[in-house]
Amino acid sequence: MFLNSKVLGEMEVRDEAILYFPDGIFGFDELKRFIMVEVEEFLPFLWLISTEQPEIGFAIADPRLFYGSPYEVNLSESDKDALDHQTGDQISTFVIVSIADGGRKITANLKGPVVLNTRNRLGKQVVVYSSSFSVRQHLLAPEEDQAATVGASARSRIAAQG
């Protein structure tokens, strides 16, 4: 299918690339099908774009970019049911990113990460009940230099974790 997204323009999407979110994304419950798009100029961020309403797109990222201490999402039994989770399945975790103040405030939603079962491409936005995670976890300090340092250390951290 062809898809004309607001942020990336027109693209061709193979059916097998489509991710299925049976419950949608909170606040966008009617949107069930998404694609994840990696474009070099936006890395380390990826786009999660609705195929049903291509003007809706989210920037997502590896949560390790945003959080110094280990961030682990413990899936509830109902989350596992939604993902048809079976032994040996790989679950990828992403956080949705917001940018405010002309790029000075970059936050990630650690309270509502997006999880994806890579085997069957089922996805879900889950709720992390721990009070230590915020819907607006800051990534960057206002100063660009500090931002660059955070970025660099986050990258090396990811490299270290393989």
Partner 1 sequence: MLILTRKFGENIRIGDKIKIIILDVKGGQVKLGIDAPPNVAVHREEIYERIREENRRASGISAKALRDVASIFNKGKKRRSRGPTGDAAPSTGST
CA-based Rg of the chain, rounded to a whole angstrom?
Answer: 16
Q: Residue 135 Cβ, how far from partner 1 at the closest point, in Å?
A: 4
**In the complex, what is the shortest distance from the CB of residue 90 to partner 1, in angstroms, rounded to a whole number?**
21
Name the nearest CA neighbour of 49 among 5, 104, 114, 99. 5
Task: Give the residue among 91, 24, 82 at the shortest CA–CA distance from 52.
Answer: 24
Choice between 3 and 16, CB closer to partner 1: 3
Measured from the CB atom, the residue of 16 and 48 that comes closer to partner 1 is: 48
State the Cα–Cα distance between residues 162 and 43, nearest whole angstrom: 17
| Residue the block writes with tokens 């990828």 | 92
Residues in contact with partner 1 by the rule CB under 8 A: 7-8, 25-28, 41-45, 56-59, 76-81, 96-100, 102-104, 106, 109, 111-112, 125, 127, 129, 135-136, 140, 143-145, 147-152, 154-156
Nearer to partner 1, 22 or 44 (CB): 44
The answer for residues whose C-beta is within 8 angstroms of residue 28's C-beta and 6 or more apart is 50, 56
**Whose Cβ is closer to partner 1: residue 15's or residue 129's?**
129
Q: Least CB distance from residue 16 to partner 1, whole Å?
A: 25
- The one-character DSSP state at 148 is H
